[in-house]
């Protein structure tokens, strides 16, 4: 079977139909891929934003907890003139 050909109405160039079809298929696939990519990038941006917010909240909570523990420790020292037992008896592993 002979290959079907179409003629460009502007330049009158003969173009094999398979070339036209493959170009159309490729273009449609590219558009679909780009659309999916944009959706995925938007999802990732939302997740990143959410994780950054969680990280900031965790940092703030840790800071509050540490500040609270320091106040508690200072009050203990003022009352007992000594470190809290968990501080005084702490043995660090400095080999790591």
At 25-84, the pLDDT tens digits run 899 999 999 999 999 999 999 999 999 999 999 999 999 999 999 999 999 999 999 999
Question: Between the CA of residue 50 and those of 31, 44, 58, what are the distances in Å?
Answer: 29, 10, 12
Which whole number is the average pLDDT over 3-13?
86
Domain map (residue ranges) of the chain: 17-88
Q: 7: helix, coil or strand?
A: strand
Other C-beta atoms within 10 Å of 24: how many?
A: 10
Task: Count CA atoms within 13 Å of residue 7 on its CB side.
Answer: 3
Instruction: Grade residue 93 by pLDDT with cuts at 50, 70 and 90.
Output: confident
What is the three-class DSSP state of 55?
helix
């Amino acid at each position: 079977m002979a290959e079907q050909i179409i003629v460009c109405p502007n330049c009158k160039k003969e173009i094999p139909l398979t070339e036209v079809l493959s170009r159309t298929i490729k273009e449609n696939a590219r558009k679909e891929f780009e659309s999916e990519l944009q959706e995925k990038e938007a999802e990732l941006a939302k997740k990143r934003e959410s994780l950054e917010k969680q990280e900031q909240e965790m940092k703030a909570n840790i800071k509050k907890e540490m500040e609270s523990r320091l106040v508690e420790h200072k009050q203990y020292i003022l009352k007992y003139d000594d470190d809290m037992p968990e501080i005084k008896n702490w043995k660090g592993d400095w080999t790591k």
